[in-house]
Amino acid sequence: MAERTEWVLSRTEAAARGGMVAAKTQAAAEVGAEILRRGGNAVDAAVATAFASGVVEPWMSGVGGGGFLVAHFPDKDEAIVVEFPMVAPAGATPDMFPLAGGVDTGLFGWPSVVGGANIAGPRAVAVPGVPAGLALALEQYGSGRVSLGQAIAPAIQLAEEGMPVTWHTTLTIARDLAQLSRFPATAAVFLDAQGHPPVTVDQSTPTMLRQPDLARTLRAIADEGPRAFYEGFLAAAIVGHLAEQGAPIVAEDFAAYRATVAPALAADYRGHRLLAPGKGTGGTTLVQSMNLLNELDIAALGHNTPQALHLMAKAFRQAFADRFAYLADPAQVDVPLEVLTSIEYAREQAAAVQRDGMGPVQAGDAARLGVSHGLGVSMPHYVGSSGQAVSGSTTHMGVIDKDGVSVSLTQTLLSLWGSRVVVPGTGVLLNNGMMWFDPEPGRPNSVAGGKRPLSNMAPALLTRDGRGVASLGASGGRLIMNAVAQLAMNLVDHRLGMQDAIAAPRIDASTPDLRVSSRLPRPTQEALTALGHRVVPRVESPGGSEFASPVGIHRAPDGLLTGGADLFYPAMAIGVE
């Protein structure tokens, strides 16, 4: 007998054999599915979906942001990462954000900055990577049947014709109304004539959110290629506007930007291989977590049992302690990536996880990891308040095509609405990528010119015996990494279907508190408290989940594709026959 009424939500699972796209909006997923129907491969579809996502979910991503694309090609069992992160301008300095004293709990536990200049406004902007990265992915790994212009065309149409304003659109604009109102060009795009969030009263005649300036920008990229964004009139408009507002970005920062391709970082997990971006990303922390969990027999403990969740939480916390102590841009900082992601280190840490009680979590010993410079000192975030767990302005999409080529792509503006700065005449909403840096000088992730910030994005693929098994990923800031790990475990350890793997209640141990879904049984929550965790239940409801928001696709050995999406977000998986 239930004590009270509760939301009980469910989704059906999509199924198809000709390919599948999963994205955070139906409109974006439809774009990718149509590319597959026209004979494009998974990369073609992912690129088109990504451009469309930046139009229909503009608060989450767009050409003013950055991201990572992971792809696996079964014909040669090759896995690559197209890297297109946001990058600090060359003129950025470690002391460019004067400290205000105290900790900003709305960030990552970094010290507060005077005027919140690293959160909103022109000084928060880093050089965007999306146009360069998506174009590079299409050029090098697309099927050759879809041109850049054809991949961008649906996004142009959506920007010109507009998207219907839904309750989700209105809510998302209302959440940040005060900040959006600060910037006239931003308000002109996203607010109505009275400066209010647009509202649809009658669903049969919805209010439309049109972005004609953005359509012209996208058309320029489609016609002239990505360098139009970095060297042409678009670059001049963006750099000029930012410079007028006191940002350190100059034309050379845009002209010098290049997306790159790197091998995927991999973790072996119970007969499967998890592939993700490496370096200063959430992928490195995800891989470290999976290596550690592979040394613990979680499957034998049962799905979401107190003892299983206890060990998972300890493993996740260890990976996060190392993350905030050591991870940064390895091109500028001595980062022990090889050791942190090694099996030997995972075995050492797993032994400690199983042996030790619930004392303070310590980052790995600097001498053991082979680094100096005091990098072993944990970040203040990890020992302080755990109120900060930014949801982030991030979107995710996955694609698996009929030939088994699989793609996982995450792109972001960083926080919701990024910097809140729309460049007049371009429609481009810019990121606040400088917020990812620790504003205190002398830390691994402190600000520096040309440096990549430590990002949370962790798009992932699962393979087995050289064949794609799943495309996984989520939006949700630092909550992404634990979520993707649990999706993989639900599929591999507990053999859940894709939708059930996504819908299962989760935990998050990326802060000293242990966030647990209120859907977990109360005795389980009480048992975790008894084991020493600071348990904080989080209620999940439509439009209000405080966990990462995933989508995913699973591929069975016979080629059947099944897709799932977050219960609490208007996401969608669409199959193609």
- Give the E-state strand segments of 165-264 in sequence order: 208-209, 260-263
User: Among candidates 328, 303, 316, which has minimal Cα distance to 447?
Assistant: 328
Q: Which residues of the chain have pLDDT under 70?
A: 1-2, 105-107, 356, 373-392
Catalytic residue numbers, as ranges:
394
**Torsion angle defined by CA atoms of residues 311, 313, 316 and 322, in that order, rounded to the nearest 10 degrees:** -90
87 contacts 257 by C-beta, under 8 angstroms? yes
Residue bearing tokens 């993700």: 276
**Torsion angle defined by CA atoms of residues 362, 366, 372 and 374, in that order, rounded to the nearest 10 degrees:** 10
User: Among candidates 571, 555, 393, 402, which has minimal Cα distance to 471?
Assistant: 555
Q: How far is CA 417 from CA 61, 64, 187, 474, 476, in A?
A: 8, 11, 12, 17, 14
By the 10 Å C-beta count (0-12 exposed, 13-18 middle, 19+ buried), 75 is classed as exposed
- According to DSSP, the residues that pair with 565 across neighbouring strands are 551
For 451-515, the three-class secondary structure string (H helix, E strand, C coil) is CCCCCCCCCEEEEECCEEEEEEEEECHHHHHHHHHHHHHHHHCCCCCHHHHHHCCCEECCCCCEE
Look up residue 573 and give its two tokens.
């998986």
Q: Is 270 left (phi over 0), alpha (psi -120 to 50) or beta?
A: left
Spatial neighbors of 495 by CB under 8 A, at least 6 apart, are none
Buried-exposed string 302-339: b where 16+ CB fall within 10 A, e elsewhere: eebebebbbbbbbbbbbbbbbbbbbbbbbebbebbbeb
Helix (H) or strand (E) holding 575: strand 572-575
Looking at residue 230, what is its pLDDT?
98
- According to DSSP, the residues that pair with 80 across neighbouring strands are 71, 263
Digit-coded pLDDT (tens) for 16-37: 999 999 999 999 999 999 999 9
Give the three-state DSSP class for 122.
helix
Look up residue 175 and give its two tokens.
């959440």
User: Among candidates 226, 253, 251, 218, which has minimal Cα distance to 237?
Assistant: 251
CB atoms inside a 10 Å sphere around CB 32: 33
301-306: long-range pairs with CB below 8 Å, 24+? 303/490, 303/493, 303/494, 303/496, 303/504, 304/504, 304/505, 304/520, 304/524, 305/524, 306/524, 306/527, 306/528, 306/531
455 contacts 129 by C-beta, under 8 angstroms? no
Digit-coded pLDDT (tens) for 517-552: 999 999 999 999 999 999 999 988 887 778 999 999
What sign results for the dihedral spanned by CA atoms 117, 121, 127, 131?
positive
Looking at residue 374, what is its pLDDT?
53
Helix ranges restricted to H, 327-467: 337-340, 343-355, 366-369, 380-383
Which residue type occupies 529?
T
CA distance linking residue 482 with residue 553, whole number of Å: 18
Provide the whole-model pTM. 0.96
Looking at residue 384, what is its pLDDT?
42
118 contacts 168 by C-beta, under 8 angstroms? no
307 contacts 301 by C-beta, under 8 angstroms? yes
CB atoms inside a 10 Å sphere around CB 523: 9
